[in-house]
Amino acid sequence: MTDRQKKIRNFSIIAHIDHGKSTLADRIIEATHGVERREMEEQLLDDMDLERERGITIKARAVRLEHVAEDGERYVFNLIDTPGHVDFNYEVSRSLYACEGALLVVDATQGIEAQTLANAYLAVDADLELVPVVNKIDLPSAEVDRVRAEIEDVIGIPAEGCPAVSAKTGQNIPDVLLAIVDDIPAPDGDEDAPLSCLIFDSYYNAYLGVVVYVRVMNGTLRAGERIRMMSSGVEFDVVEVGYMRPLGLDKADCLSAGDVGYITASIKNVSDTKIGDTVTHADRPAAEPLPGFKEALPMVFAGIYPADGARYNDLRDALEKLRLNDAALSFVPETSVALGFGFRCGFLGLLHMEVIEERLEREFNLDLITTAPSVIYEVDVRGGERVRVDNPSNYPPPEVIERAYEPVVKASIITPTDYIGGIMELCTDRRGTFHDMKYIDTSRVELHYTLPLNEIIYDFFDALKSRSRGYASLDYESDGYVESKLCKLDFLLNGDIVDALTFIVHEEKAYARARKIAQRLKDNIPRQLFEIPIQAAVGSRIIARETVKALRKDVLAKCYGGDITRKKKLLEKQKEGKKKMRKLGTVEVSPEAFMAVLRLDDDN
């Protein structure tokens, strides 16, 4: 280990959502004078509006800080912030691999939650030194000692005397800085060995091209050198290397083993800089790529359509812009009879999907119609071929299906014991397979289930929260495919199938879903001049029906006293509403009504 390396500390902060991860990061940045107080914005690392509003971190961030310790030595802190949500588990794991240690933040009033555990396991898997930090000690209900004991019992790391802080008020933050210096190991790695850098994040900048965030494991990288991405073999000439400062990029001569920094190389496309990939020199490559690289695979799919069909091209441009910064987002054009031209989009999970939808609407000012989220089903069709289905309306007809498979996840749910009954009932209702239940302490348990992913994406999280008054927490990871009895549920309006309303459901769920969606269609389709039959069908079998009665009357403006303008405005308003209508077959439905039908807001 070189003297330079001895003064570097590379670490992450991991926590359950809302336990104060980003606030602690702000305090550390402040305490190391990384940012002048007046420049300090709340949650500096979360620079998307959406992240600040929701208090979540969507993309990983990194920042280099300098800290003068009590002994007068100057240390480099590379703080790598990680996303806290299960959708981004892979990104978290890559960020962790870039570090030697992690601060495990636990809320002194809540104790350990599902994501605390999941992230702690990821950190242990990555061989990190864990430094527990108990946060929110300023709250009256803080139980510092109980939470310390819980950390020792459940995670099995010493926590006695660990920093107990209030990131909000700044209380005891120096203890954290001390623990970083003392407890987190310095990086090693050979500065002269062949180059290997781990990519843990990247984003597109209009002036620099893709900015790649890396941790140098071995070797030294300088501007002007030719690099190769080991997964794809694509090569680039490095334009610039440097460090990430809290308020911008800071050019440097080189990045060496142990450093965290950025590379620019006139890279046009973030998909060339896959997270987890290894960067090496083209002329003297590393023998092996760093372990653990995976392609980020979308798990959840939905059709996204512009509410105004004329804005199809705007939607395409917007998706392309977002993909510049989000290699996990996939989209291909698709056509729906009901919704016109749009895109079948793939997401890492529901949160990722929501984030993309919100960004399309806010940053690109688009009104969207989004179909119900679906997963990829696999079907063995007669003749031995296996097909993957990411759009329910492409699901093969029952007569050609030999076997069908659906993706499942291993789920871990932590809940106060009071809610075990309701949660087990929910999991059973969602076709879960129970594995075991472990007591974390006398009042909380961890439940393990295998659950179909399509049940998780159908409002599972909200149902879980409502059955536990918000106390239960969930984490899950993909666990392959299992054979399943699935069927395709179609909805017909006026006798025509509405492709955008097709679902794949488990046989047992077909009736309940059919009745519910039919009822919602009835409640949300505005009356029209003719009666509209609504039918739910599995194959040719109708399993539920409703009717939207014909419109009998509308407002007969009096035209009293010759107020013609008012009448005209009324007609114009009505016309305006009609323009936004989408034709589902012969039936006109507003985008709002369509979305209301697919609204996921209650159990089952």
Partner 1 sequence: MQLNRRQSKRLGIYIHIPFCRQKCAYCDFYSYPPHDERIYESYVDAVISHMKSYKSVGADYSPDTVYIGGGTPTCLPPEEMLRLIRGIRSSFRIQKDAEFSMECNPATVDYDTLRRYRRAGVNRLSIGMQSSNEGELRALGRIHTLREVRDTVRAAREAKFTNINLDLMYGIPYQTMQSWDETLHRAVALKPEHISLYNLKLEEGTPLYKNASNYVFPDDETEFAMYTRAISYLASCGYRQYEISNFARPGYECRHNLKYWKCEEYLGFGPSAHSYFADVRFSFKKSVSNYIKSVRGVTNDEMTDDYEQIPLRERVGEYIMLRMRLCEGIDPREFFRTFGKDFESLFGSKLMRYVKGGFVDVSNGTYRFTPSGMFVSNYILSDVLDFDADGNFVI
* Beta carbon nearer to partner 1, 37 or 553: 553
User: Of residues 403, 485, 569, 599, which one binds partner 1 by CB under 8 A?
Assistant: 569
Q: How far is the CB of 452 from partner 1 (least distance, A)?
A: 43
Nearer to partner 1, 176 or 587 (CB): 587
Q: Which of 574, 599, 602, 604 touches partner 1 by CB under 8 A?
A: 574
Tokens of 103: 């601060």
Q: How far is the CB of 551 from partner 1 (least distance, A)?
A: 6
Residue 277, C-beta contacts closer than 8 angstroms, at least 6 positions apart:
199, 229, 230, 231, 232, 289, 293
**What residues have CB less than 8 Å from 25, skipping those under 6 apart?**
13, 43, 44, 45, 79, 81
Tokens 């046009």, residue located: 268
CB closer to partner 1 out of 257 and 587: 587
Q: Which of 3, 383, 575, 601 forms a contact with partner 1 (CB under 8 A)?
A: 575
When asked if residue 332 is in the footprint of partner 1 (CB under 8 A), the reply is: no
146 belongs to the binding site for partner 1 (CB under 8 A) = no
Is residue 571 a contact point for partner 1 (CB under 8 A)? yes
- Residues of this chain, 510-529, that bind partner 1 according to CB under 8 A: 529
Q: How long a stretch of residues is the chain?
A: 604
The least distance separating partner 1 from the CB of residue 582, rounded to whole angstroms, comes to 15
Using CB under 8 A, pick the residue from 253, 572, 602, 603 that binds partner 1. 572
Residue 581 Cβ vs partner 1, minimum distance, rounded to whole Å:
10
Residue nearer to partner 1 on the CB measure, 38 or 553? 553
| Cα(504)–Cα(554) distance, integer angstroms | 38
Least distance to partner 1, CB of residue 341, Å: 24
> For partner 1, which stretch binds (CB under 8 A), given 315-323, 383-391, 496-504, 574-582?
574-582
- Residue 250, interface with partner 1 (CB under 8 A)? no
Q: Is 541 in the site for partner 1 (CB under 8 A)?
A: no
Tally of CB atoms within 10 A around 7: 18
- The kind and range of the H/E element at 450 are strand 444-452
Q: What is the 3-state secondary structure (H, E, C) of 236-302?
A: EECCEEEEEECCEEEEECEEECCCEEEEECCCCCHHHCCCCCEEEECCCECCCCCCCCCCCCCCEEE
Q: Give the Cα-Cα-Cα angle 356, 359, 364 (nearest 5 degrees).
A: 125
577-596 mask for partner 1 (x: CB under 8 A)?
-x------------------
3-state helix, strand, coil in the chain (%, to 5): 30, 35, 35
DSSP helix/strand/coil, 430: coil
Q: How far is CA 186 from the centre of its chain?
A: 31
Q: What is the CA radius of gyration of the chain?
A: 27
Q: Can you tell me whether residue 520 is helix, strand or coil?
A: helix
Residue closer to partner 1 (CB basis): 72 or 562: 562
Candidates 111-119, 348-356, 377-385, 572-580: pick the segment binding partner 1 (CB under 8 A): 572-580
48 vs 557 by CB, closer to partner 1:
557
Instruction: Give the range of 43-51, 89-97, 100-108, 564-572 binding partner 1 by CB under 8 A.
Output: 564-572
Q: Which stretch binds partner 1 (CB under 8 A): 87-95, 117-125, 281-289, 575-583?
A: 575-583
Is residue 310 near partner 1 by the rule CB under 8 A? Answer: no
Q: Does 564 bind partner 1 (CB under 8 A)?
A: yes
The closest alpha carbon to 20, from 56, 49, 44, belongs to 56
**Joined tokens for residue 163:** 């920093």
Half-sphere exposure (CA, 13 Å, Cβ side) for 462?
A: 11
Read off φ and ψ for residue 8, nearest 5 degrees.
Answer: -105, 140
Beta-strand ranges (E) seen in 100-237 are 101-107, 129-135, 196-205, 209-218, 220-222, 226-229, 235-237
Residues 58-117 that bind partner 1 (CB under 8 A): none
Nearest approach in angstroms of CB 340 to partner 1 is: 20
557 makes contact with partner 1 (CB under 8 A): yes
What distances in angstroms separate CA 276 from CA 93, 162, 295, 324, 484, one per listed residue? 9, 32, 8, 17, 33
**In terms of DSSP bridges, do strands 444-452 and 473-483 run parallel, antiparallel, or are they unpaired?**
unpaired
Please pick, from the candidates 37, 540, 561, 601, the single residue that binds partner 1 as defined by CB under 8 A: 561
Partners of 256 in beta bridges: 220
Identified binder of partner 1 from the candidate list 207, 287, 556, 601, rule CB under 8 A: 556
Among 402, 567, 599, 604, binds partner 1 (CB under 8 A): 567
Residue nearer to partner 1 on the CB measure, 37 or 579 = 579
Closer by beta carbon to partner 1, 425 or else 563: 563
562 is an interface residue for partner 1 by CB under 8 A = yes
Q: Which residues bind partner 1 (CB under 8 A)?
A: 529-530, 549, 551-565, 567-572, 574-576, 578
